[in-house]
Structure 1
């Protein structure tokens, strides 16, 4: 393409490949490790599986789509519910196997949807997931997690009482992290603007060291090289399928599939190709789903194509799939570097809370932007009803209890009800002319 420094199938020189691969991986790094940190999973295994999933995606899409797969933020709340919360002492997930089981089925659903698209075309899914459904659900994802972010930023657990209490020192670390990320996002227009989370974490971490809230013990005790914390079904946990786990995790594909389609459309515009038609939406969805499936089978969180990836491509105009492949390999190698992973484990909760305030806010705002871009008319009572119900049910934490062991709640329930309302309320055909995927 005329505006490309390196086009999709161009091969950089050896030195270029190494430099560009590291640059691309670090742009994805902050978001990829943040998700496991928030849900009590292993950052090392998340990094490893992001590399593996990206390679799978490249293979399935015949090395035509320069996309990097990282940890999905849409699954943060469902994973926390599935794993029965986090251990107060260690910060790790209580039952991480539950999230892995749910993620396996998320991957399988992707595969089923990709098969249907392969046989019947893709227009039906565009109509099933219009902006009026997906936009408010994305807002629920961000706003529903806002309390978690603020709590992480402001409060610490008192070692004597076990109760949460306000800490100005920790909150100051959160604010330094937050404002660093904001400055990177707003005032920088180069590669720095694509990695505000990573830069914010680094600056916040340095500030935390200065004010003395970082415990270096894990770094001292860590080996230089170490295996990531694998979670293998039948070895580390019993692969017991429950309806509750499925109902918590699987409905979120309503959002992530729509997010995937949006990314493919925007990515296609950046590199001047139509990825919905070639190699086809069915292939990219299958690659995404297989990446999530393989990730879950060894202990990683669900995967998704990354908006940060599109940002780096747009800024650098380096579209080469070889650079994406190199970034994936760098991520895999780094995941075995024990000292680096130990540093990540010492990041104070307040620093994570600082970047989470911005990130969860951006997620919520992106849902609002989706509604604006699709020109959704809120003078139309149909649209007003759908958005209102999704927001209140999702943020309010409504729960539909079938039996003591079976319930659908929060975001999952909001997504399901949103789809149902869109299908049954009158005026759907008229509204379809302004769906999400026309923007």
Structure 2
């Protein structure tokens, strides 16, 4: 029905009833009685309307706590409409609250920092990532100017000059941050921060790896090419010199072969295309093989022994043999003639442990944290003498990561080293 009709028809009916009642009184008791009844009925009608208006006013002043009044006549439709509007508003508020909660949860889980500023750079809101990246605390810093909170010259210039077309790369709080401001609305700006520390570190490692690998491959190639040029330019080279050159070329070729094999092993260990395929591993048998290889490498110049008193584990026998072999061969290479190398497999308090201890040259503490980096060498001249590739401990690191194991190193220069691999408890 038309809302106008809904209002005017009941009003007209009530007015007609009032006139009929007043007319009857006029006809029965005379004009005075009729007019008196008409006035009283009008006053009663006016009182009812004013009462409903008062109730409506009270409800509008505090519509959340006051109960919506019941109506009569046209007021029934008015109050029912108000009730529907209130119900729709409550539903919209509930949906808005739910979406706001979801938005805040999503913002809290974002790895990137998000901060909202007004047009004069006052902080209105930020997520936990932005707090970590920029050193902010929302409860403390809300309403303060961002350029006063992040006092870095490059950041202040970027914000103040307003050149937001390109992001800003910033070194802040021992992190590499990519910062960008995105204007939105007329009086709001979004400050987005991305932590690129790990990406930068990986890129530096990639560059270092390529440079080091190129250097390591260039040295034996230079030797081989040099001797080949001598052989081609000197047809009458004596037999002894030719044999010496062939021996050196063979050694350098094998060195290149070992380096390439280690690089391929590292690539395979890091690739998601080669997941670990766990199987029961007879660790005792693996260590026996490693022991024989270490003794062959030593050639009787060291006392190489082993103690096997630990359980079998689940993992990759091939990868564990490679990791254990690298630790044992390093101990042999860096232990002077007459020294001792001992391999041990036992059940430790935190889980099964494989230990390689030696009486070698030892390692200074400043180098220990970087030993598992690719091509990192404590003594480059010593590494060339031992024919190491510089990738052995990097391979050990990745094998242990795949087996959820840890490597701890203790060493003293001139006294020897101890490398301990601890596997998790079953």
TM-score (norm 2): 0.20
Q: Name the one with the larger helix percent.
A: 1
Q: Name the one with the larger strand percent.
A: 2
Give 1 or 2 for the bigger CA radius of gyration. 2
